[in-house]
Amino acid sequence: MAVTVANADIYFNENVLHNEEWVTADEATKQRALNNAKKQLYRIYKTYNEVSKPLPDEAIYLQALWLLRLDDAVRKAEQGVRSVSVSGITVTLARQADFIAPEVVLIVGRRVGRTVL
């Protein structure tokens, strides 16, 4: 099955209980999320390629959902911000955010150095 918005819609409707971020997104946002997820995963998991050893579609779908779920504080953490203050309320970010969805790591494996475990 190809990684398309239509196929992702089917996957999320049939397999993901908490799918609100995907379901409420417009078509253009869904497509951008899929495009970004695909690019991120192929950059990180270099043992995979789109022609002879493609990533599982499920991994791309779940990474796209992960990207849609990122709130502003997490995006700032990815850029190295340690704390955010608004109207006297401060949120301290303990560590840098994970770039890959935990479910994707379970499907594809953990990247260590140049290999995937």
Dig out the tokens for 110 from the structure.
Answer: 């953990």
Closest Cα partner for 103 from 7, 19, 5, 9? Answer: 19
| Mean pLDDT of all residues in 36-54 | 94
Tell me the three state secondary structure of residue 48. Answer: coil
Q: Which DSSP letter does residue 73 get? A: H
pLDDT in tens, 59-107: 999 999 999 998 665 666 666 777 777 777 876 766 555 688 999 999 9
pTM above 0.85, yes or no: no
Q: Residue 69 and residue 27: Cα distance in Å, rounded?
A: 16
Could you report how far apart the first and last alpha carbons of the chain are, in Å?
25
